[in-house]
Every structure is written in structure tokens, then in C-alpha cells.
Structure 1
């Protein structure tokens, strides 16, 4: 991939960072609000490192379309798959739900089926892209390693179908993006900011008796990633969103350890709690007046 990284260094990074200045104001704002204790110089370094990694992510994604099984298994390694499958068998579970975020190269995690020695079905939930052509391209890329692509709207239907067929499955959920207004059911503190998270994975997982894991990804060196599949440390007395809370804390630790490897260009906090409450008052006033419990949790300090 030397040629790919050459283009990342001399073409993509300079164009995105210096010429296009792609969402630099948003990235700078996010870093300032999430890491107020860090100096401007340090945040500027994180910003620059992020865009360098972002350029790498672009060429890595392009390369993925033609990457052989051997090279993919050399580029991203996995740990904990056999243990997770053994736990499913020992505990009599049919499903394991794997949480991850837009961190490191999440696209390469689709190669996880290469590391399994069982007949476990591996699936990934995805949100269809606006461009039909690009959407088909990404579906082909994500499915070429043997994973089942599941549209978000068909998540429950597909999982229940797998359950009826008696199949064991590990399903991946990228759960760090911003939910739409009507899907906001849980708020917590994430990177010092009040943030809403999707809770659908936890709700469905509890329904089918799934175990919950986190894809702890690191980048040992350029072009190489390592993913440890870790069981989420869930507080059983933490209420109905305890699993989601455990995921948020795990994601936060990953970001604080390597902040430049998270997708800061995503406008994660475009919907505030105050805006959500106004939306609910206007569109579902009965639910607000009915005393719906608002979940609020505290986060570990970044």
C-alpha cells in the first residue's frame, strides 16, 4: 500500500486540510468542547493528525475493494473471537452483539468472518446511503468478506428470522452516530457533553438474550489495526440502558487514548437535549407531560 499512502500524503491530505478545509471549523469546535483541559497547541496537533489519518482511511477504503484475504488478515488482526463464540456456546446464547464506533478503520472490521472457525453468521447493520451507486459499492465491499449486510430498518426482522432458523450470529452495530429526534430515548455525558445514543441494539439484544461485546480497536502502526473483542462490563443494577452506558464508556476510553482516530467531522452534537425537548413538546406533548423518565448518567472524566 505504499503507493496509496503516497497519494494520501501528497494529494489527499493537503487538498482536504489546506485547500478544501473540509469541516475544519466543526472539528476545531468539537475538540475545544471535548478537551477544554488541553492546550490549543495540543488540540491543533490532534486536528492535524486526525486529517492525516482521515486521508489514510480514504485510501485504505479504496484498497479494501481489491484486497486479498491474506493481505486483509495481515492488515487487521482480531483477538477474542474464539472466546466470544465459546461463551455463546457455554451460556446457551444464539446471539452476540458487537458494538463499535467510527474509530480507526471500522470498514475493515467487516473481515471478522475470516477469523472464525465455526458456522456463526456474522452480520453488520448499515444505514443505506443517499447515492444508490455509492451504496451498492459499499455493500459489495462490506459483504465480500462473508458478512451479512442488514439494512437498519430490517434489523429486528432479520435477527428474528435467524433465531427461527436456529442459527448463531454475531451482529455488529456502529452506535456512536446521532439518532433522529424520534429515536432519542437515552441521554448521557460523553466527552464532557450531554449526548443522545441509539438504544435499539440493547433493546433487541435483551429481547433475544444476546451477550454484548465491544470492538476495542487500536492502530499499532500505519496501515495495521488490531481489534480485541471484549465483553462489555455492564452494571446489572444500571437500569434499562446499562448496556448502552457501558458501550459509551468503552468508546470514550478509546477516543481519549487516541483522539485523532475518531471521526470528528461528524456533526455529533447537532441535536441538543433542549432542542429535543422542544421537539417532543411540539410533536408528542403527551409523552413529555406524562412524566417520561429522562435517563441521565455521569461519565468518567476524559
Structure 2
């Protein structure tokens, strides 16, 4: 076993012993999986600790590893879908949740440059991120994200989510080919869409829907699942090719449904330790 996973296993044991965010995790899982008994919830919580610390050590590992090695750990199952769309559209928007190891999605650029010809990644790539409250943590996360991104030799940038909507809309008519990537399952502030998600009413950030409709560019769901420890596979599903024609809230609801399906497929593969359901109805 790699030393990083020995460290992860030790941290998971310590987190379980110390009760790291135990109540938050337990409440989130109990409400989301009402048919699960206490024993199953304890098992899921312990598996989640292992999962989240795997993500942590992998996110540090990416700073030191080569792009070629990174691409061996993150693959795409159906790149032909975005490749086909890229033949028709200058810009596309990809939306995902906190599944798999989202800190490694910069490897997606490298996949296009290392072992296959495609149009999907041979363009500017823009990844959004949410600024951490802690200055040190934010600096560390930016270093990790830029490390994965720069190794791909891709053109584009990493953009703070509060600035992303304005920046992306301003690029609407610049004639450049670009892909935008947004993580959209955080607890939103202000304007949101109400969705039935994991057996409870949930508020969903509408930024991805707003942007895809404003630019009228294809909206593609991107899932990330673990195939084995340290290895992930990205899959794509078209949410809507012509977003401007969709009723308000429809695209966000479709995204939430696809994300829910992925979570039900692997209950541990999500960010359970955060207070996701802050909005009360």
C-alpha cells in the first residue's frame, strides 16, 4: 500500500475516535437514507472518513506528481460526447458535484494532450473554485489547483466563483473556444432553486443554469467515480443542448437528479461533513 494511504487510514481512525463532525455526518446521512439502520449509518460514516482523507492525501500528492502520472489516475469513459459537441459549439459548460476527487479534475486537460486526439480539451479551460475562509487553507488549495492545471500546459485559468459568472459572460462574443467547469452542489446564499434531493427539500445554486442560459451553450453533467483506490473515472451526460429554451429551474433540477443518482450508486462518494442543508423551508 502507498504510504499516502497508510496516512489516510490513520487519519480516518483518529477522526472516528475524535468524532470529527460526527453529528453533521450522521444527521446528513440519516435524513438522506431514511431506510438505513444505525449500524449501516456507522459503517457509512467510517467509510466516509476513509474517503475524505484519501481525497486530502491525493490532493497533496498532485502537487508533486507528473501530468503523465496524474492522467493514469483520472480517465474519461465517454469523451466522444463532449468531443462531438465541441465540433458544433465554441463554448460549453460542465457542471458537477463534490463527487470523486474534484481537486484532480485538472487532469482532464492532460487526457487530451497525452494519448488521444480530440477537440474537447484542445481549447481554453476555466475551472471555478470557492474561496476558503481560512487564509492559509485558501493559499494551499490554490497551490494544489494551479499545480494540476499548469501541468497540463492548457490555456485558461482558475477563477473564483464570485467572479466567474461576470468573467464568463464577458467572453460571450470573443470568438474563443472555451470550456467552463463549475461545482454546483454547495449550500447557496440568496437566489436558489428548490429541489427534492436525497429525500428532503434542498436549495440549489442556480449559477450553472444562469450561465448556460445566458450564453445559450450546452450544459453537460460531469460525474466522477472511484474505480479503485486512487483512481477515478469521469463520465459525461448531456443535460441540455439548448438551455435558453428551458423553463426556469428545470436545468438545476436535472443536475440535482443526476447527482442524486450518482450518490445513491455510491453513498460514501459525496461531501457529507459539511452543513449542506442550511436553508430552512
**TM-score (norm: length of structure 1):** 0.82
Tell me the number of residue pairs that the alignment of Structure 1 and Structure 2 aligns. 267
Q: CA deviation at 1:234?
A: 8.4
1:268 has 2:271 as partner: no
CA contact (8 A) 1:94 1:169 kept: yes
Q: CA deviation at 1:223?
A: 0.8
1:72 has 2:62 as partner: no
1:13 equivalent in structure 2: 12
Q: CA deviation at 1:178?
A: 0.4
CA contact (8 A) 1:234 1:243 kept: no
Q: CA deviation at 1:133?
A: 3.5
2:115 equivalent in structure 1: none
SS at match of 1:6: helix
Q: CA deviation at 1:137?
A: 2.7
**Structural mapping, 1:1-302, within 5 Å:** 2-9=2-9, 11-19=10-18, 21-90=19-88, 93-116=89-112, 117-118=118-119, 119-144=122-147, 145=149, 146=154, 148-180=157-189, 182-184=190-192, 186-232=193-239, 239-273=247-281
CA contact (8 A) 1:88 1:211 kept: no
SS at match of 1:18: helix
Deviations 1:4-51 (A, max 9, x none): 011111x211221112x1111111111111111122222221111111
Provide the aligned C-alpha RMSD in A: 2.0
Note closer, same or farther for the CA distance 1:235–1:42 as it changes in structure 2 (3 Å cut): farther
Q: CA deviation at 1:98?
A: 0.8
CA distance in 2, matches of 1:55, 1:153: 28
Q: Bigger CA drift: 229-238 or 197-206?
A: 229-238
SS at match of 2:110: helix
SS at match of 1:113: helix
SS at match of 1:261: coil
Deviations 1:229-284 (A, max 9, x none): 221268988621111111000000000110111110010112212xxxxxxxxxxx
**TM-score (norm: length of structure 2):** 0.88
Q: CA deviation at 1:143?
A: 2.3
In structure 2, the gaps of 5 or more residues are 113-117
CA distance in 2, matches of 1:210, 1:81: 18
CA distance in 1, matches of 2:198, 2:188: 17
CA distance in 2, matches of 1:42, 1:177: 26
Q: Bigger CA drift: 113-122 or 224-233?
A: 113-122
Deviations 1:182-218 (A, max 9, x none): 233x101100110010112111211111101111221
Q: CA deviation at 1:107?
A: 0.8
In structure 1, the gaps of 5 or more residues are 274-302
Q: Which ranges of 4 or more aligned residues in structure 1 deviate by more than 4 Å?
A: 233-238
